[in-house]
Amino acid sequence: MRVFTQNDPFFEPALDETLFSLSNGYLGVRASRSESPEEIAIRGTYINGFYDRVPMIHAEKAFGFPDKTDKLVRIIDTQTIRVLLDGEAVELTPESVENYRHELRMEEGISLRAFDYMKGEKRAHIRYERMASLKEPGLFVYSLDVDYEGEIEAESLVQAEVYNFSDSDDPRVGQHEERLLMTKRLEVIQEKIFYEGYTASTKASLQACITHHSDAPLTFQVEEEVARARARGRGTLHLEKRLHLSDSYHYEDPAGELLRLQDVSSNSSYAELKAEQAQILQNFWQESAVTIEGDVEEQRALHYLQYQLFQNAPRGPWGNIAAKGLSGEGYEGHYFWDSEIYLLPVFEWLRPELATPMLAYRYQILEEARKRSLVMGQKRGACYAWRTISGIECSGYFPAGSAQYHLSADIAHAMMAHYEMHDDVDMLADFGAEVIFETARLWLEVGHFDEEGFHIFNVTGPDEYTAIVDDNYYTNLLARKNLRSARTVYDVLQRRNPQALQRVTEKIGLTEDELGEFQKAAAQMVLLYDDRLGIHAQDSSFLHKPAWDLEANRHLQPLLLNVHPLSIYRHQVLKQADTILAYTMEEAEEDIMRRGFDYYEARTTHDSSLSKCVYGIMASRLGDLDKAYEYFRDSLYMDLHNTHGNTKDGLHMANVAGSVLSILTGFAGLRSQGGRLALRPRRPKELQGYRFPFRYRGRRLQLEVGEGYRLELLSGSPIEVLIEGEEYLLTDVLEGGTL
């Protein structure tokens, strides 16, 4: 059974809240202790994409700097259900609690906290359950059961006055404690608690209905911005609390959606809701589980990460996946390039239906990207915001933020990868082509030709410790892919959906001359190579800088918190994979990649959570399986062991995905090469084997790797496959020898 467990009742509360958080892609609730609302932690509930806008203050403001930023709103707190035994509140102490267990039951889709509570000579058994419905995203359920030989009281609270978390010493977290959600009404009508609020600046509406069901009589009370429901019994007490949510960002008629949700909820018992949840999870694990053999703890950790990916994926037009998902307030709920380069590839291989909403979100904010391009000095094209929720730029530090133009190419890459992997011409016709064309235009605006070729100056690549550089290898490579994709997409639609092509080209005024310029820029794109070292240069200046002494300065990591940016920028030191990441997306010659890996690895701090998984994937590609496995282990336990020290602010979702990719595109070597499936299966000696089902171009396949490999076509027509570069026709099963 897939269960993640914590048996220490005094484990760090804020970290516990993150690790046991529940979500369904729309609604996320941190695992704060129901009986302890006064506990100092990060007691948060969030809706994906439900934001307010707050002022952004710059010490020295220049043209184009954003003056407002989106911020994920902490919404009403419904987590509290206090338990009183013979009139005294339950408070966990070393003397009072026994048999404690906190479980995330990943096959049932619920969390459970249960313990025995000692009160004098009496013993109470207390059990809390929670569920974020995967079928009805606006529904969250709490359940409490108490057994006690005495008087039992349960006090359930709805707290409307909430404030976002802040940490003035950490730039990755909000700097000011703010109340972003204002109360319009909080009242009890026919034993239902109704709430209506609005965001302070944008005036977006949030509506909620909280219902209670108990085997004991219920009473209700509202005092200012707190509503209470109380149930009193003796011997045993059961209380069920359901939170129903709707908002105006995601629903045209939030009041109507709330009524619909209540009707659906009222017709289902908790047992029926749990059965539906378990069925959804059963299908997920059957169709998508990545399984490793050889270490039970590693398997449990891997499935925990897969579960977090699944429960944080949006299942409708609710935005994207933030850097911390819905598990915390790190990075203020902003979406980054993590989605396209780390998260989407996992979904494309395992659950492509979950990829499409994330791609559609980028189209929804395309108009903001066009506006931003103008602000940034371009005459046309789409320049996507580095960090955002609504589409506006929310980065206040442009050298390591807004200057990362590669995001626009990353988005185009993700659109093109989805088409190639699933032959999804409809996606291109509906929105993908427009995004790819508009982002391709950006590079003609930003770059320029000279006698050496096509250059892109003054940008920042993935490595945020090297800012405002010329001809960053990763950026130029992805820009070239973007420019080439525009021509490819044009030709695909011309053949397969000319009406859609005409519609989009007329809408944006795309011409054949522009397509020719795209091709010319792509053909002449400058990709710097250093003859002396035999490697691709990260940019035009990196290899000319003095080296940073990593070992002597370990105590200063993460450098972004302890060293002035200019000092960092002047040295050869990387925060994360940059050129090496580019190799995972488009390979170079084998010996060049190997030399580049050795060179850049020795200069990388891995201060970014996005880094180690990439180096591990590349180590697999180069056949260094010992190193690949070491990086895999580091990625696997980053949050579970809190190795970066900030998991309390939320899970590192890109690394969560990167850990899964370490097997899919790392050990197994899965690739889509121009619409052709390729793999290079390898097995670290520490693993007995691994297996996983995956999707490709309408087929369902399964790969098993042990002493050899076995690739099976589960459904769909025969397909040509490249295995270790050799062509095979897969009609049923392909098997290979010793690895």
The catalytic residue among 129, 464, 514, 517 is: 464
Q: Is 60 considered catalytic here?
A: no
Contact partners, residue 224, CB within 8 Å, separation at least 6: none
Instruction: Say how far apart CA 138 and CA 696 lie, in whole Å.
Output: 32
At 621, phi and psi to the nearest 5?
-60, -35
- On whether the CB atoms of residues 336 and 370 are closer than 8 A, the answer is no
Specify the long-range contacts of residues 501-507, CB closer than 8 Å, at least 24 apart.
Answer: 501/433, 504/433, 504/434, 504/437, 505/437, 507/434
Residue 332 DSSP one-character state: G
**In the structure encoding, which two tokens stand for residue 715, read together?**
């459904």
Residues in the chain: 739
Report yes or no: 580 and 614 within 8 Å, Cβ to Cβ: yes
Tokens of 17: 């809240």
Alpha helices in 268-331 (DSSP H): 270-288, 296-312
Structure tokens at 225: 């911005």
Task: Compute the half-sphere exposure of residue 507: CA atoms within 13 Å on the CB side of its CA.
Answer: 15
Residue 694's H or E segment, with its range, is strand 689-696
User: What string of H, E and C letters represents the secondary structure of 29-71?
Assistant: ECCCCCCCCCCCCCCCEEECCCEEEEECCCCCCCCCCCCEEEE
The dihedral through the CA atoms of 220, 221, 226, 232 has a sign that is negative
241: three-class secondary structure by DSSP? strand
The whole-angstrom separation of Cα 346 and Cα 343 is 6
Return the structure tokens found at 412: 């185009």
HSE-CB for 134 with a 13 A CA cutoff: 25
**Distant-in-sequence, close-in-space partners of 166: CB < 8 Å, separation ≥ 6:** 173, 174, 175, 176, 177, 178
- How far is Cα 276 from Cα 133, in angstroms, rounded to an integer? 9
Nearest-CA neighbor of 705 among 666, 668, 731, 662? 668
Distances in Å between the Cα of 146 and the Cα atoms of 37, 117, 217, 341 are 19, 10, 15, 46
Cβ distance 326 to 21 under 8 Å?
yes
Non-local CB neighbours of 270 within 8 Å, separated by 6+ positions: 141, 143, 240
Which residues are identified as catalytic? 464
